[in-house]
Amino acid sequence: MRITPPAPVFDANASGGGDLGKLPDWDLSDLYSAPDAPEIARDLDWLATECAAFASDYEGKLADLDAAGWLTCIDRYEAIDRISGRLMSYAGLRYYQNTVDAERAKFLSDCQDKITTFTTPLVFFTLEINRIDDARLDAVFAENADLARYKPVFDRLRAMRPYQLSDELEKFLHDQSVVGASAWNKLFDETIAGLEFEVNGEPFGIEGTLNFLTDPDRENREAAARELARVFGGNIKTFARVHNTLAKEKEIEDRWRKMPTPQTGRHLANHVEPEVVQALRDAVVAAYPKLSHRYYALKAKWMGLDTLQVWDRNAPLPIEEPKTVDWDTAKATVMEAYADFSPKMAEIAEPFFTKGWIDAGVKPGKAPGAFAHPTVTDVHPYVMLNYLGKPRDVMTLAHELGHGVHQVLAAPQGELLASTPLTLAETASVFGEMLTFRKLLAAAETPAQKKTLLAGKVEDMINTVVRQIAFYDFECKLHEARRGGELTPENINDIWMSVQGESLGPVFEFMDGYETFWAYIPHFVHSPFYVYAYAFGDGLVNALYAVYEESGTDFQDKYFEMLKAGGSKHHKDLLAPFGLDASDPAFWDKGLSMISGMIDELEAMED
């Protein structure tokens, strides 16, 4: 059941400034017209009644259902999921628009509390399914094709069987969830949104301050980096408390469930084998020297520097002309790239711009970064941006719109099958970025423009692959260290720095205070071990795009079929039509070779 607010997929790249034109705001009325709308009270009342009725009708009886009985049961369960999802999506999206608004925070918490109480009687559902004999379930699936399509849902549930607790303990964990991780998530969000920074005598929130790290003026970048370090340092005990508590809570639950590693739960949720993730991680780490180390050494040369500081990592190139991309231009760029691939893709994306499905502006209290949230299958997704007008913001729009297209296409699968595992959730978003980049590159008129675009894409890919795998290693080390006891802020700082030099390379120097920059990364708080999904998605898309360039016109049809599948198929089955296999260790080298090839092009431009 949806008892937590939307888990946003935050893209932490910040950028922009200038006259951007009219930026769109969300129209959440497709969910509910207002927090006091009578439909909210109606739906809460319905949930309370239907959850109790569902438990009364099915608890202790699942093993005896025939195929028709199962279809009715699943239909009712999906209806409950749909209504609870609608309520929590509305409450969560309102909250992310202004996380420091006490009324919005209260409304979200109240909805969460009520839905948790209503859905507690449903905890039996998963537990009871996992006690049914395999032969009995297989026989029921064989009876009815409509029921058989739900087998992937049951397979994922039953993968949790070895880690299932008693009914009583599972109900306890469900009940206390509102004062567990979700409460610490809100504390983190509110703390981040409330931080105040001062750069060159002007006040900024975190988005505006992070934006300076892409400023052409090196003094501005340095001033912002040092101010970020000052403010993070002043709040570091709070951030350390959040991480200590969440990591310990996870360790306790994992121990009770007898999960072998802190990452096991994420791998199960992603429906991906641990050895596939390990192969990805090892391939990326082995490629650090030919990717990030080589690129940043090249960038230092372009900037006339012997060493790079952390505030140079995302700096524009000296040859790059400062550019502000207004909203209408950003929209046209992405929509044309989508339409060139397929008019159908642009058609699906159009309502995001015309019907209030995007909230783009930077506002006080608004959550930082960007995300796409699918809400529920009978409404539509919403995209959140913090659009500030840099070229990177255009790529973020292409990225999040890709998520939105994917979510629209998968919605007909229904609540239980539409949701895509995180490893595949980044496919359409990264592919949308690649389409937009390739269109811009093809339109480049000068060698300098081509070099700037290539360098920007390489940096984005390094941020998506190298940086996210370094983040994954940081999380692995953090959770392992927490098992040995409470971590001081200095302990966490040391873990952070242990992966930074390794991933970024010897050309970097690290200022005092950079050791605290783990503090603002939302993924570590909202979705432990999420980050490898970015690298998975980028490697997958690089390989997929290579197939696209070599394919005929049937590629688009196969691509849309893959997105329509949502979570109904395993990654092996989804990639097989393209001749790809993510379980093959060599698969990841193919994706990484695309990044390396772009660096080769950049090096050749030096000759």
Tens-digit pLDDT profile for residues 496-513 = 999 999 999 999 999 999
Angular region, 367: left φ>0, alpha ψ -120 to 50, beta rest: beta
Are 469 and 284 within 8 A, CB to CB? yes
Q: Helix, strand, or coil here: 11? A: coil
The pLDDT of residue 413: 96
DSSP state of 565: T
pLDDT digits (tens, 9 = 90+) for 354-387: 999 999 999 999 998 899 999 999 999 999 999 9
* Res 11 pLDDT > 50: no
Are 123 and 157 within 8 A, CB to CB? no
pLDDT digits (tens, 9 = 90+) for 249-272: 999 999 999 999 999 999 998 888
The pLDDT of residue 607: 54
Q: What CATH number was assigned to the domain covering residues 327-462+534-569?
A: 1.10.1370.40
* Res 422 pLDDT > 80: no
Q: Label each residue of 519-533 as H, E or C.
A: HHCHHHHHCCCCCHH
Rounded distance between C-alpha atoms, residue 475 and residue 467, angstroms: 12
pLDDT digits (tens, 9 = 90+) for 512-533: 999 999 999 999 999 999 999 8
* Res 159 pLDDT > 80: yes
Burial of 381 (0-12, 13-18, 19+ CB in 10 A): buried
The pLDDT of residue 179: 82
**Half-sphere exposure in the Cβ direction for 44 (13 Å, CA):** 20
First to last CA, the chain: 59
Rounded distance between C-alpha atoms, residue 508 and residue 400, angstroms: 31
Are 566 and 413 within 8 A, CB to CB? yes
Burial 555-575 (b: 16+ CB within 10 A, else e): bbeebbebbbbbbbbbbeebb
The pLDDT of residue 171: 85
Rounded to 10 degrees, the C-alpha dihedral 383/384/386/392 comes to: -40
The neighbouring-strand residues paired with 548 are none
Nearest to 601 by CA among 408, 470, 458, 476: 458
The pLDDT of residue 348: 98
Identity (one letter) of the amino acid at 582?
A: A
* Res 15 pLDDT > 80: no
Q: Which residue has the tokens 């892409």?
A: 214
Q: Which residue has the tokens 């209503």?
A: 118
The pLDDT of residue 411: 97
Give residue limits of the domains in the chain: 327-462+534-569
Q: How confident is the model at residue 2 (pLDDT cuts 50, 70, 90)?
A: very low
* Residue 173 in tokens: 């964990």
pLDDT digits (tens, 9 = 90+) for 327-363: 999 999 999 999 999 999 999 999 999 999 999 999 9
Rounded distance between C-alpha atoms, residue 243 and residue 478, angstroms: 9
Of 97-111, 119-133, 517-531, 577-591, the least confident: 577-591
Of 153-162, 308-317, 582-591, the least confident: 582-591
Of 22-36, 66-80, 132-146, the least confident: 132-146
Prediction pTM value: 0.83
Mean pLDDT over the full length of the chain: 92
The pLDDT of residue 95: 95
**Mean pLDDT computed over 70-89:** 97
Rounded distance between C-alpha atoms, residue 586 and residue 504, angstroms: 24
Q: Helix, strand, or coil here: 364? A: coil
pLDDT digits (tens, 9 = 90+) for 444-464: 889 988 999 999 999 999 999
Provide the 10 A C-beta neighbour count for residue 586. 9
Q: How confident is the model at residue 5 (pLDDT cuts 50, 70, 90)?
A: very low
Q: Helix, strand, or coil here: 347? A: helix
**Mean pLDDT computed over 292-300:** 97
CA angle at 342 for the pair 341 and 343, rounded to the nearest 5°: 135
The pLDDT of residue 392: 86
Q: Helix, strand, or coil here: 25? A: coil
Q: Which residue has the tokens 């006891």?
A: 485
The pLDDT of residue 3: 43
Name the percent of the chain lying above pLDDT 90.
78
